[in-house]
């Protein structure tokens, strides 16, 4: 074979590199869009498998455990697309009351729907069914939103839409995976990591007379070293979170309690690097959610000038919604010690103290 005159290997290599740089310069974004599309498509397939599995688990539970009289598939599919429309916030005055009203209506409807399928005889089964349907709905929503941006990015050839979605995919998959793992714990009624607050206060409530102070929320009165304790938690062992905001407003208002301190115990999301089961103390209303309960508690405490103290048990999102880990469960005794110390330090004999165990009470009675 004859070499082309003037084209030695060095020149050929240089030409190759020049060509490569020119192609990369003009087609880099298109190439990256293609890679991003592939990546998102794989994630989307995983999300589809997850949402189908959660839907199937919910239907199986309603049929096998809930003994649904009719085939619940159609009702479940309708339920998955059920939306709660949040109130307008252009004029924010009174928005918390409106959100509370909308969310309460939504929750009541969910319970009525589930009750119509499985009957109201077993509140544990009804509450577990509600939670399973919520998991299936969340996964369905996640899948729909990711699919929307994937198709939008593909249709408009929008490099930035696709790359942003590609970067978010690992976090989205992680969260979806946590939700799917929660199904296993919910089905058999095992306490979840978020239930550490109720686990701690259940020890104070065991054997005492309980009364319902708000929807799905119970309270007991007990005594510790000369202090009168009002202890509250959601009504277990159902998978409830209750309405601690309404309950605290009622205890401070209607019931006329005059606590010297409100102590709230809750699970808190840990930062990467923090240990599961670590305990943190602080001030303020320790409660998650959309903010309605927090607002109600802060309002009531501010009105009555009662200091709010918080005890938090650190855990990841996965640990919070799946079966309680040993590290979290073993923190219960330490939280008890911190709680007793707080009561002794911040109040004196003859005082009243309100203690609230915040979180999902699945598998935790009182």
Partner 1 sequence: MSSVPGPDKKTKLLVYTIEECPVCGQKTKRAFAVGDYVTKDGAKCSKCSNQTRISLVYAEGTKPSG
Closest to partner 1 by CB, 141 or 336: 336
Binding to partner 1 by residue 208, rule CB under 8 A? no
Select the span of 36-44, 139-147, 184-192, 209-217 touching partner 1 (CB under 8 A). Answer: 184-192
**300, 249 contact by CB (below 8 A):** yes
CA distance 212 to 123: 15
For position 339 contacting partner 1 by CB under 8 A, the verdict is no
203 near partner 1, judged by CB under 8 A: yes
Query: Which residues have CB under 8 Å from 256's CB, separation 6+?
Result: none
Among the listed residues 202, 296, 315, 347, the single contact to partner 1 using CB under 8 A: 202
- Binding segment for partner 1 (CB under 8 A), chosen from 154-162, 189-197, 217-225, 288-296, is 189-197
* Helix pair 159-188, 123-156: axis angle to 10 deg: 170
Cα–Cα distance for residue pair 356/297, rounded to 1 Å: 11
How many Cβ atoms sit within 10 Å of the Cβ of residue 70? 10
32 contributes a contact to partner 1 by CB under 8 A: no
- Is the separation of the CB atoms in 228 and 352 below 8 Å? yes
For residues 305 and 258, give the distance between their C-alpha atoms in angstroms, rounded to a whole number.
Answer: 10
123 binds partner 1 (CB under 8 A): no
314 binds partner 1 (CB under 8 A): no
Burial class (CB in 10 A: 0-12, 13-18, 19+), 198: buried
Sequence-distant (≥ 6) Cβ neighbours of residue 64 within 8 angstroms: none
Query: Please, what is the minimum distance in Å from the beta carbon of residue 54 to partner 1?
Result: 15
| Cβ distance to partner 1 smaller for residue 222 or 316 | 316
Q: Using CB under 8 A, which of 318, 336, 344, 346 touches partner 1?
A: 318
Q: If we measure between CA atoms, which residue out of 310, 233, 314, 308 comes closest to residue 268?
A: 314
Per-residue DSSP letters for 191-245? PBGGGHHHHHHHHHHTTS-EEEEETTEEEEEEEETTEEEEEEEE-SSSS----HH
324 part of the interface to partner 1, by CB under 8 A: yes
| 189 versus 291: smaller Cβ distance to partner 1 | 189
Beta strand 210-214 pairing with 217-224: antiparallel
Q: Return the number of the residue (138 or 316) whose C-beta is nearest partner 1.
A: 316
Cβ-based nearer residue to partner 1, 191 or 242: 191
Select the span of 32-40, 105-113, 127-135, 314-322 touching partner 1 (CB under 8 A).
314-322
Shortest distance, CB of residue 115 to partner 1, whole angstroms? Answer: 21
CB atoms closer than 10 angstroms to residue 89: 9
Rule CB under 8 A: say whether 122 interacts with partner 1: no
Q: Is 317 in the site for partner 1 (CB under 8 A)?
A: no
Q: Give yes or no for residue 277 binding partner 1 (CB under 8 A).
A: no
Instruction: List the structure tokens of 366.
Output: 């009182």
244: contact with partner 1 by CB under 8 A: no
Q: How many residues bind partner 1 (CB under 8 A)?
A: 30
Q: Is residue 191 near partner 1 by the rule CB under 8 A? A: yes
Residue 152 near partner 1 by CB under 8 A? no
Q: Residue numbers of the site for partner 1 (CB under 8 A)?
A: 181, 184-185, 188-191, 198-199, 202-203, 206, 236-237, 316, 318-319, 322-326, 328-330, 332, 363-366
């Amino acid at each position: 074979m004859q070499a082309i005159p003037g084209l030695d290997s060095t020149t050929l290599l240089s030409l190759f590199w020049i060509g490569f740089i020119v192609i990369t310069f003009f087609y880099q974004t298109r190439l990256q869009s293609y890679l991003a599309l592939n990546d998102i498509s794989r994630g989307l397939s995983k999300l589809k498998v997850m949402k189908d599995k959660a839907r199937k688990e919910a239907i199986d539970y309603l049929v096998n455990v809930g003994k649904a009289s009719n085939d619940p598939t159609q009702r479940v599919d309708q339920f998955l697309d059920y939306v709660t429309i949040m109130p307008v916030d252009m004029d924010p005055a009174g928005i918390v009351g409106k959100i509370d009203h909308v969310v309460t209506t939504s929750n009541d409807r969910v319970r009525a729907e589930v009750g119509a399928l499985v009957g109201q005889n077993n509140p544990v089964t009804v509450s577990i069914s509600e939670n399973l349907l919520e998991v299936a709905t969340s996964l369905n929503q996640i899948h729909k939103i990711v699919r929307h941006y994937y198709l939008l990015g593909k249709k408009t050839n929008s490099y930035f839409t696709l790359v942003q979605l590609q970067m978010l995919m690992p976090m989205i998959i992680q969260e979806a995976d946590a939700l799917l793992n929660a199904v296993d714990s919910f089905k058999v009624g095992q306490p979840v990591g978020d239930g550490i607050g109720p686990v701690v206060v259940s020890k104070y409530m065991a054997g005492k007379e309980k009364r319902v102070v708000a929807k799905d929320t119970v309270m007991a009165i007990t005594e510790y070293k000369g202090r009168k304790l009002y202890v509250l938690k959601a009504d277990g062992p159902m998978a409830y979170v209750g309405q601690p905001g309404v309950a605290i407003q009622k205890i401070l208002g209607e019931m006329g309690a005059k606590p010297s301190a409100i102590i709230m115990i809750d699970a808190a999301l840990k930062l990467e690097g923090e240990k599961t089961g670590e305990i943190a103390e602080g001030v303020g209303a320790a409660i998650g959610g959309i903010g309605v309960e927090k607002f109600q508690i802060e309002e009531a405490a501010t009105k009555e000038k009662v200091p709010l103290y918080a005890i938090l048990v650190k855990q990841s999102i996965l640990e919070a919604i799946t079966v309680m880990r040993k590290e979290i469960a073993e923190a219960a005794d330490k939280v008890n010690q911190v709680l007793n110390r707080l009561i002794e330090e911040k109040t004196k004999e003859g005082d009243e103290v309100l203690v609230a165990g915040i979180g999902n009470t699945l598998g935790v009675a009182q």
